[in-house]
Structure 1
Amino acid sequence: MTQLKVDEAIQQLKESDIRITPQRYAILEYLIESHTHPTADDIYKALVERFPSMSVATVYNNLRLFTKIGFVQEMAYGDASSRFDFSSQRHYHAICETCGKIVDTYYPGLEDVEAATEQLTGFKINEHRMELYGLCPDCQEAAEKSAS
């Protein structure tokens, strides 16, 4: 499944006349395989051993390119570093308020929110995002242990 997503993204890059460099391929592959919504720095640290000449700026520039093309979503939360999500399917995020872990969540029917909002407000909605905040299972367990 991962290879299929990588191949589809590579095809999209080729159609946009964007050269496929080994670094670009590795960044894309890491994003698709990672389910942690990494920061640019996380990606850099994971790949620098394979690509010693690659800079953090290279990672940022490629992430901006992927975001502009539309298959990567930049998620900026508060003062923390932006996180990046390969988004082949529309989804939402559950975010732990303690450790910052982000988990994708899919819920059918939420696409209707845009149409309903347009009807109720007269706005032309371009996009929306939904974030749910709480405690992940690990942090819940840690909190229970420290309370006892």
Structure 2
Amino acid sequence: MECLHRFCGECIEKSIRLCKNECPVCREHYPGGCTLGDDRHYDHLISIIHPDIAEYEEAVRQYFKPWIKKCVDLCELTIHVHAYVLVIFKYGCLIIKISMWQSFRRQIKELERKQKARATAVGFARRRRTIRKDINDKNGGKD
């Protein structure tokens, strides 16, 4: 794409299937008849920066392994970014999107914190109901 955003084939197919001729990130229009394929110049540039790409990809996968499953569960946008991160693995250029990935890591932590707080609140509510029920049973149903 002219805006230089990179996507996996699945995200491009989804965008084309939805008849949107625009970049999913910046919404820049691209001609509908153009073919979106591998960017060989970009691949060559990355191969110069990281000559042993397989070793680099494996190190990156190990680093992000705990977050990949959690990100898939967040939302549609995260799945897209997850795919984008996998494309970055393929090309070996993680630096481009680390800030975005870190923001999703923060969102995941916040989501986990909210779920834990919600579970705690539900537990307190159950205990309150149980205590009220016990008190009502002891009083014969009178408050």
Could you say whether these structures have the same fold, taking a TM-score greater than 0.5 normalized by the shorter chain as the test? no
Which structure carries more strand by proportion? 1
The structure with the largest alpha-carbon Rg is: 2
**Greater helix fraction, Structure 1 or Structure 2:** 2
Higher relative contact order (CA 8 A, sep 6+): 2
